[in-house]
A and B are shown apart, each in its own frame.
Chain A
Amino acid sequence: RKEVEQDPGPFNVPEGATVAFNCTYSNSASQSFFWYRQDCRKEPKLLMSVYSSGNEDGRFTAQLNRASQYISLLIRDSKLSDSATYLCVVINNAGNMLTFGGGTRLMVKP
């Protein structure tokens, strides 16, 4: 089993739709989690951190489920500009290693 797994997609959704991605991790002692966004042929950019209590930033909501070992990203009212690959990142319990998921590709259509 991979340390961090994501459904590669693509997720094809119409504008205005709500879409959610999950990311599972294998190390139950992992301590920190992030979502990054990567546009085609560009570098990843931090989208949001994922806190234990869940957190929201505008149309984006991130949640952590430690019992089932996954994090999620919910995007409401999808925009064309949300089309990108979304990478989840997990930091191990020692705090010395980041592991990236393979990314989930989202395509928002008019």
Chain B
Amino acid sequence: DGGITQSPKYLFRKEGQNVTLSCEQNLNHDAMYWYRQDPGQGLRLIYYSQIVNDFQKGDIAEGYSVSREKKESFPLTVTSAQKNPTAFYLCASSIGRAGGGNQPQHFGDGTRLSIL
């Protein structure tokens, strides 16, 4: 089945540790996105990528890094510089940039990150 796979489902981070969240899609989508969602809040954009080897900062990029070496993969690293990383992280993809105008985003089922 085509879709977006995020792993792990749950992740725990120690102080001073970097952790990487995986996002893989087999939908042949060009654009991929990372969002953060805090309890009772909406989604906030961390980073997005419209094409391989290119990515842009979103609204809350500080303390995060990404790479886009392959079309299918867009891993997110939560660095030790992110002082409040506990949140629900959602990866999404769309056919073209921002969904190519009329195409919506499709989401993975998320990773819950907590501090130990």
Contacts and interface: CB of A to CB of B under 8 A. Distances in A.
B25 interface: no
Nearest to A43: B107
B41 interface: yes
A1 interface: no
B98 interface: yes
B107 A95 contact: no
A95 B90 contact: no
B76 to A, nearest CB: 15
B42 A87 contact: yes
Interface stretch (A14-22, A44-52, A59-67, A69-77): A44-52
A49 B109 CA distance: 21
Contact count band on A: 20 to 34
Nearest to B109: A43
Contact of B100 (A8, A45, A95): A95
Contact of B90 (A8, A32, A43, A97): A43
A95 B104 contact: no
Interface in B15-65: 33, 35, 40-43, 45, 50
Given A91-B99, A97-B45, A103-B42, 8 more contacts: A8-B40, A32-B102, A34-B104, A36-B104, A44-B90, A49-B102, A96-B98, A98-B98
